[in-house]
Amino acid sequence: MARRIIQPKSKKPRRPRKPEISPTKLRMFLECPLMYKLVYVTKIGRYYYVPNAGNSFGGSLHRALQDFHSSGGHETQTPEQLAERLKNTWVSTGYNSRQEEREHLEIGVRLLQDYYENSKSGSVTLMTERQLREDMGDFVLIGRIDRLDERPDGTIEIVDYKSGRESVTEAEVANDLAMSIYQLLAKKKYPDRQVMATIHCLRTGQIASASLSDEELTELEKMIRHVASEMLKITEDTEIPPSRKRICDGCDFYKICERRARIAGIEWGSNENPDTAE
């Protein structure tokens, strides 16, 4: 009997994933294209990242609030339960000592207790720590929101927690790139709703909100598309000379740029107006 030969099924070639553009990537590119290349194109940034107390503290608070709101919020949770959620989601990396970590945990418990007492509203939480996505053709625009609520009047509100910030104004919210992008993404998801953005400073309880008009959102989308087209041109072979900027002194790549500038014969140091360097 002749053996039956089974031909393997041919696999359909997968379409390449579209690049994702986030508020963090956009802001980084606008501040320093070289930093953007090092972090997101050559991807050497992961070798220079050092955990710090600020990121660990903020991340712990965010996770505790995510659990709190996704579990029913004020309707089902007590302030003691919220504080316990912080202890259960606590991240210990980045602190210089056990004492520093204990102090931050105590501060975190106090901030969440204040949050519990002062943040009650008639809004309904629709989602927490969720990524919104919108296909923009050549790329996908993404944004990870802390919380998205539906207010009693039907308005969609994006709430962003700030663990290190003590004050905020309406103008600052309106001019914040990330908050603006979140509004654009929420408007794409809820086109028939009014959309607003709110920053909540956890350290002081101060809150400010802003809402972009449809015209402002249209202009924002045009800007994003233009900047994204420039970002997508950058490859590992793209030459971007280092230049002094105001953000340099706190940058993880400062020594790399300083060394490259010296090799290239570029004058390096504290310029009178670093942002004028291109």
Domain CATH for 195: 3.90.320.10
Domain-embedded: residue 234: no
Contacts of 90 (CB under 8 A, 6+ apart): 60, 105, 108
The CA distance from 204 to 227, in Å, is 35
Give yes or no for residue 99 having a pLDDT over 70. Answer: yes
Query: Are residues 129 and 224 located together in one domain of the fold?
Result: yes
| Contact criterion met (CB below 8 Å) for 190 and 39 | no
What is the band of 243 on the pLDDT scale with cuts at 50, 70, 90? Answer: confident
Q: Which of 192, 208, 228 is the last residue of a domain?
A: 228
Q: Tokens for 100?
A: 């520093």
Q: Among 37-46, 71-80, 266-275, where is mean pLDDT lowest? A: 266-275
pLDDT of residue 200: 96
What is the band of 274 on the pLDDT scale with cuts at 50, 70, 90? Answer: very low
| Contact criterion met (CB below 8 Å) for 68 and 86 | no
pLDDT > 70 in the chain, percent: 91
Query: Are residues 216 and 170 located together in one domain of the fold?
Result: yes
Q: Where are the alpha helices (DSSP H) in the chain?
A: 23-31, 33-36, 53-70, 79-89, 98-118, 170-174, 177-189, 214-231, 254-264
Q: Which of 118, 150, 168 is the last residue of a domain?
A: 118
Query: Are residues 142 and 88 located together in one domain of the fold?
Result: no
pLDDT of residue 22: 97
Give yes or no for residue 155 having a pLDDT over 70. Answer: yes
| Contact criterion met (CB below 8 Å) for 107 and 118 | no
Query: Are residues 223 and 161 located together in one domain of the fold?
Result: yes
Query: Are residues 134 and 173 located together in one domain of the fold?
Result: yes
Domain-embedded: residue 197: yes
Query: Are residues 107 and 128 located together in one domain of the fold?
Result: no
pTM, to two decimals: 0.85
Query: Are residues 169 and 89 located together in one domain of the fold?
Result: no
More confident residue, 273 or 9: 9
Considering its fold, how many domains does the chain have in total? 2
| Contact criterion met (CB below 8 Å) for 208 and 198 | yes
Q: Pairing relation of β-strands 195-201 and 207-210?
A: antiparallel
Query: Are residues 61 and 102 located together in one domain of the fold?
Result: yes
Give the mean model confidence (pLDDT) for residues 227-234: 97
pLDDT of residue 248: 87
Q: Pairing relation of β-strands 124-135 and 20-21?
A: unpaired
Domain-embedded: residue 275: no
Residues in the chain: 278
Query: What are residue 125's DSSP bridge partners?
Result: 149
Tell me which residue range forms the domain holding 55: 50-118
User: What are φ and ψ of residue 198, in 5° steps?
Assistant: -130, 135
Give yes or no for residue 225 having a pLDDT over 80. Answer: yes
The CA distance from 111 to 117, in Å, is 10
Q: Tokens for 225?
A: 């598309």
| Contact criterion met (CB below 8 Å) for 170 and 208 | yes
Domain-embedded: residue 79: yes
pLDDT of residue 259: 86
Domain-embedded: residue 2: no
Can you say whether the dihedral through the CA atoms of 235, 236, 238, 242 is positive or negative? positive
Q: Which of 203, 228, 253 is the last residue of a domain?
A: 228
Query: Are residues 69 and 108 located together in one domain of the fold?
Result: yes
pLDDT of residue 15: 67
pLDDT of residue 201: 96
Domain-embedded: residue 38: no
Query: Are residues 161 and 220 located together in one domain of the fold?
Result: yes
Query: Are residues 64 and 155 located together in one domain of the fold?
Result: no
Q: Tokens for 10?
A: 């041919």
What is the average pLDDT score of the chain? 89
Q: Tokens 């670093």 sit at which residue?
A: 274
Q: What is the pLDDT of residues 67-98, one digit of tens each?
A: 999 988 888 989 999 999 999 999 999 999 99
Domain-embedded: residue 189: yes
User: Taking the CA atoms of the chain, what radius of gyration do you get in angstroms?
Assistant: 23
Q: Tokens for 221?
A: 């989308």
Query: Are residues 167 and 114 located together in one domain of the fold?
Result: no
Give the mean model confidence (pLDDT) for residues 15-33: 92
Domain-embedded: residue 264: no
